[in-house]
Amino acid sequence: MAQRRNPVILTIDDEENIRASFRMFLEDYDYQVIEAQNGREGLDMFFLKKPDLVLCDLRMPEVDGLEVIEQITQNSPDTPIIVVSGTGIIGDAIEAIHCGAWNYLLKPIQDMSILLHAINQAMERSRLIVENRAYQEHLEEEVTKRTQALQKAVKDLNQSHLKLKNSEQKYRVIFDNLQDVYLEVRLDGKVTEISPSISHISQYSREDILNTNIENIFPGFKERDQFLAQLRVVNKIFDHELHLEDKDKTLIPCSLNASYQLGTNQADDKICATLRDVTERKQAEAKIEHLAFYDSLTELPNRRLLLDRLEQNISRARRYNHFGAMLFLDLDRFKNINDSLGHPVGDALLQEVAKRLTHDLRSEDTVSRLGGDEFVILLSDLGNDPTNAAAKAQQKAESIKKRLAERNIIDGHELHITPSIGVAMFPSNKDEEETGDDILRYADTAMYRAKDDGRDTIRFFLPSMQAAADSRLAIEKELRYALERDQLTLYFQPQVNGQGQILGAETLARWEHPQKGFISPATFIPIAEATGLILPIGEWVLRTACEHLKAWSDQGLTVHHLAVNVSPRQFRQPHFVSQVENILKETGANPALLGLELTEGMVIDNILDTIEKMESLKKLGIELSIDDFGTGYSSLAYLKKMPLDILKIDQSFVRDIETDSSDAAIVDTIIAMAAHLKLKVIAEGVETKFELDFLEEKGCPLYQGYLFSKPVPNEQFLELLAAGITLS
């Protein structure tokens, strides 16, 4: 059956979000997508709609994926079936392929182009199989017709000699120009006819094979008797695989389509067949098999193969009472390289990392790429002593750190990278049967602890880490709903002059959980940053702050400056400036009253992009400030280039003014420098009268801290604004 212009794909999966993601992606490539939520419904829809391809899960209610594959294969063997399953067990993949699946992908699919490639490849293979069968049947029909015509011509001597000659010429043209090999073989194995195209796929000529025994070119065809018996029953056999042995003993994989032809007596019975070289198909299948277990960019084992080897190592470790280790490695700030220099440079860097990780690797160890910039090193049999085993794992991790720290020259760019490495020893608990997924999760948790502790470091997994990771995951899940469920609110911390007059405020997000109460920003903001939730939260904070500005203005209240903190991920969005401009227009807030606070590290990270965005924001009339000044990178050389309005002295300096002369000197310097650059200064974290007096003496005009007010909700802030703040 010819494929439709817009092929129909049936998705069978009990997870609605998986089906929806496939449908939205595939419809962009002109595929028609129909869906079924379980195996029974999928079979019914298959026989009703006759789709061109099936995407099928393995684990489903009512009828599981393997039964679906078997029934579809029995009724429509040419329909491609691609298994997309969440199970990474090798046995499941092999069983699915044995049942008739054409390919096996592991979900969730991070890169949807892999799914598209698998579908296109399967559709092309299906098309070729159908066309080949039609071609073979047409060829056999043509040969049969010509043979019958010849037999009739011989029997009927009264027919015109000219017609006979023309018929023979047509037969010869077809015969001589075949792309596949046509051959006729007697039941005793003698080759009575073979087309010249045998020389297209081998070193043999037609004359080499004619009148010889078929076993001369198919010495491995030992099941010939079984093949003949089956052929007598079904009359036709398609796509029978065997190997042709060439003159130089090279084995050529071939596909044989054969039919049984009855002669005038049993001695004249013969097999008519066509032979096709399937070397390219076998290579493609081998490539698919390779892709199923290896990363296409680095050629390292992928997650599926890693987990298989890890399970074996865990089993051996328990059996022989020795220890192994899993090193989970993530490249620090790799995304910055990808974003600034492009994916080709990033990919080349990942390939170089793969080479360095496999340097001096023992044969029993495994380096795997899980995806993105995440790598895993599986260390087998580190001995029977847990302390020594951990020391060896530490030594290997230190060696990796040192090797990766060496400079990389990629496409003319000198790049320096550092890894955060998490280490999990196994078995970590003699009393529990840990799985490969457990060990991988432990190492992943330790890696995140290494990142939290400053990056470019090594951390071993401890059970307390997992408890913290579980708590972090729970907060992440609940944070996703906090916005839509109105659990977030804004607090305002007044910014005042020496007389306690409120001139502005800093906007601070607060999360009031219905069961857990207030959750500290120190807890949820880093999680929001790491997961990308900071983008919708940051947009909400900015919009809500502007709505407050407009409301205060409408009420006749005077607030000269409302500061909103901007996260690095938020600021680096290409459309950040237009987002701010749209929010100002939609809310009607006065941009001259809005201030955006940027961190020192953020502005130095990409100075050209920073200055360009800051100048665009300044054109809107917005005030810009550097938050926590002096705690990060040295940005003094760039201050005069940036269109800044305000420097905020970090509270860590203010807090120790009375006891630390160095901090007092730093504060004095910042105030003096700001005066020279004609910048405003705000001191954060002012909590004592001594700190206020010192700052006033040095010329700092604005303050923020608990000495005046803690962050308060809108209603309380308006009360303070109306009354002013007096110092106790």
pLDDT tens digits for range 20-57:
988 999 998 889 999 999 989 999 999 999 999 999 99
**Do 564 and 681 have their domain in common?**
yes
CATH no. for residue 166? 3.30.450.20
Residues β-bridged to residue 682 = 648, 702
d(CA 476, CA 488): 14
pLDDT of 633:
47
Binned at pLDDT 50, 70 and 90, residue 700 comes out as: very high
Q: Is residue 293 part of a domain?
A: no
**Do 640 and 616 have their domain in common?**
yes
Q: Is residue 1 part of a domain?
A: no
**Do 111 and 142 have their domain in common?**
no
pLDDT tens digits for range 647-682:
998 888 898 888 888 888 888 988 998 888 889 999
What lies within 8 Å, CB to CB, of 267 at 6+ separation is: none
255: left (phi over 0), alpha (psi -120 to 50) or beta: beta
**Do 264 and 308 have their domain in common?**
no
Q: Is 674 helix (H, G, I), strand (E, B) or coil?
A: helix
d(CA 559, CA 128): 73
pLDDT tens digits for range 112-152:
888 888 899 888 888 888 888 888 888 888 877 876 776 67
Average pLDDT, whole number, for the chain?
85
**Do 138 and 112 have their domain in common?**
no
pLDDT at 727 over 60: no
pLDDT above 70 as % of the chain: 91
d(CA 713, CA 564): 15
Tokens found for residue 230: 């089956």
pLDDT at 596 over 90: yes
Q: Is residue 509 part of a domain?
A: yes
* Strand 517-519 with 561-565, pairing: unpaired
**Do 396 and 481 have their domain in common?**
no
Q: Is residue 148 part of a domain?
A: yes
pLDDT tens digits for range 283-324:
887 787 777 788 889 999 999 999 999 999 999 988 888 999
Task: Identify whether the C-beta of residue 527 lies closer than 8 Å to the C-beta of residue 479.
Answer: yes
CATH no. for residue 105? 3.40.50.2300
**Do 433 and 519 have their domain in common?**
no
**Do 249 and 303 have their domain in common?**
no
* Strand 81-85 with 53-56, pairing: parallel
**Do 123 and 164 have their domain in common?**
no
**Do 664 and 607 have their domain in common?**
yes
Q: Which of 25-34, 186-195, 326-335 has the lowest mean pLDDT?
A: 186-195
Decide which of 69, 96, 129 is a domain's last residue.
129
d(CA 576, CA 402): 38
Task: Identify whether the C-beta of residue 56 lies closer than 8 Å to the C-beta of residue 33.
Answer: no
**Do 506 and 385 have their domain in common?**
no
Decide which of 431, 461, 491 is a domain's last residue.
461
Residues β-bridged to residue 460 = 423
Q: Is residue 2 part of a domain?
A: no
Domain count, the chain: 4
How far is residue 17 CA from its own chain's centroid?
17
**Do 436 and 318 have their domain in common?**
yes
- Domain with 410 in it: 298-461
Decide which of 129, 161, 190 is a domain's last residue.
129
pLDDT at 466 over 70: no
